[in-house]
């Protein structure tokens, strides 16, 4: 019996609650479970952190859908709710299809309500060749403004003016500033969108899962769940590549006109490098077909989201921030990536069910 969308007990308040609900829903659905314990990072209470994998359907199925939550830490609360809803729905995967749900890929970020991992790494920029990382020539110009010395004083005020100046500069513009910030950077470890200098632990887990669990599936769909970009409550499917010359057409067939592309400016996201879809693509064999998207749920306007990221980044570089300022900053990042608004949450669950259904129908078709 298919359950209706539930809002009250699907979204969690803590990492532990999120994990417990996911494991319980997976168990009730009859999923096969695997867990990976983080070797050194812990939660705010000192508790262990895990990445969990639930599989429904046969490992020998012709096609598979891999859905990931928590690549960007705090965004994982929403992604987890989408996964729990799917497990509770009672809807079995289509014939000859396997469903794999990878829960809280960045458990540190979820537990500490941060977007980055335990080493300030943005996991969605970590999947690069670290021997010759990409170069973001414009990021150094912005770094000082993104990471001011204070958050409630003259340094922050001056930093805001510098960002505004560049946004109004014809050679930069708002889109140019966004691109320079969000593309990723591999040179400033204390900065924003830092891709790291080596594969993070979560990076290794995703590659291991993709290599081991997707082996033998001829057709693979990949959906990475995110929040923070785009229109309030809208679930925007953003094309992240695939295999074969017809991958773009195939994705359009599956997701329709709602599908957007970072490269042509139709997406709320500017181009980026080192995302999780790249790891999945590199883990498959040439014979396997891949269709990959990010499903992005919009929250606040871009400037408020950026301010929340800057504030959170500043906070974790302080030795003794005031409790009041800390509380304000954590409230701002929650508002940017995990709104408590019931209408927003209901819209997210409805859209997630729709898009994940499109992915499974596309595979089956």
What confidence tens digit (pLDDT) does each residue in 61-88 have?
A: 999 999 999 999 999 999 999 999 999 9
What is the reported pLDDT for 325?
95
What's the average model confidence in pLDDT over 206-220?
A: 97
For the chain, the structural domain boundaries read 15-130+197-303+334-364, 137-182
What is the reported pLDDT for 90?
87
Q: Label the pairing between strands 48-56 and 63-68.
A: unpaired
Say if CB 311 and CB 332 are below 8 A apart: yes
Please determine, for residue 8, whether its predicted confidence score (pLDDT) is greater than 60.
yes
pLDDT bin (cut points 50, 70, 90) of residue 2 is very low
Annotate 40-66 with b (16+ C-beta within 10 A) or e (fewer).
ebebeeeeebbbbbbbbbeeebebbbb
What is the reported pLDDT for 365?
84
Residue 289: partners with Cβ closer than 8 Å, 6 or more residues away: 218, 219, 220, 242, 243, 244
Please determine, for residue 7, whether its predicted confidence score (pLDDT) is greater than 80.
no
Please determine, for residue 3, whether its predicted confidence score (pLDDT) is greater than 60.
no
Question: What pTM did the predictor assign?
Answer: 0.96
What is the reported pLDDT for 97?
96
Please determine, for residue 287, whether its predicted confidence score (pLDDT) is greater than 60.
yes
How far, in Å, CA of 184 to CA of 138, rounded? 11
Written out in words, the top-level CATH class of the domain with range 15-130+197-303+334-364 is alpha beta
What's the average model confidence in pLDDT over 120-148?
A: 97
The residue with greater pLDDT, 365 or 8, is 365
What's the average model confidence in pLDDT over 295-314?
A: 97
Say if CB 333 and CB 228 are below 8 A apart: no
Residue 261: partners with Cβ closer than 8 Å, 6 or more residues away: 238, 239, 248, 267
What's the average model confidence in pLDDT over 306-333?
A: 95
């Amino acid at each position: 019996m298919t359950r209706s969308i539930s809002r009250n007990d699907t979204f969690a308040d803590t990492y532990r609650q999120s994990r417990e609900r996911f494991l319980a829903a997976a168990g009730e659905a009859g999923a096969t479970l695997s867990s990976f314990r983080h070797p050194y990072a812990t939660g705010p209470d000192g508790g262990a952190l895990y990445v969990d994998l639930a599989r429904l359907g046969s490992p020998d199925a012709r096609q598979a859908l891999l859905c990931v939550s928590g690549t960007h830490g705090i965004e994982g609360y929403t992604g987890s709710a989408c996964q729990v809803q799917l497990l509770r729905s009672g809807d079995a995967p289509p014939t000859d299809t396997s469903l794999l749900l990878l829960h809280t890929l960045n458990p540190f970020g979820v537990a500490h309500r941060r977007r980055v991992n335990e080493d300030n790494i943005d996991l969605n920029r970590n999947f690069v060749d670290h021997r010759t990382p990409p170069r973001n020539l414009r990021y150094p110009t912005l770094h000082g403004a993104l990471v001011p010395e204070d958050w409630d004083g003259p340094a922050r005020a001056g930093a805001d003016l510098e960002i505004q100046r560049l946004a109004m500069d014809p050679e930069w513009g708002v889109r140019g500033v966004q691109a320079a910030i969000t593309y990723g950077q591999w040179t400033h470890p204390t900065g924003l969108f830092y891709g790291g200098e080596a594969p993070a632990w979560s990076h290794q887990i995703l590659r291991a899962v993709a290599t081991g669990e997707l082996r033998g599936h001829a057709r693979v769909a990949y959906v990475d769940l995110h929040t923070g970009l785009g229109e309030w409550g809208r679930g925007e499917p953003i094309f992240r590549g695939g295999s074969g010359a017809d991958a773009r057409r195939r994705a359009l067939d599956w997701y329709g006109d709602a599908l957007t592309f970072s490269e042509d400016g139709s997406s709320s996201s500017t181009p980026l490098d080192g995302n999780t879809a790249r790891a999945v693509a590199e883990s498959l064999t040439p014979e396997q077909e891949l269709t990959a998207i990010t499903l992005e749920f919009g929250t606040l306007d871009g400037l408020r989201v950026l301010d929340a990221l800057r504030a959170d980044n500043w906070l974790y570089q302080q030795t003794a921030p005031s409790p009041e300022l800390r509380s304000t900053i954590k409230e701002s990042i929650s508002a940017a990536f995990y709104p408590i608004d019931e209408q927003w949450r209901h819209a997210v669950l409805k859209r997630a069910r729709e898009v994940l259904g499109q992915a499974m129908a596309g595979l089956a078709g």
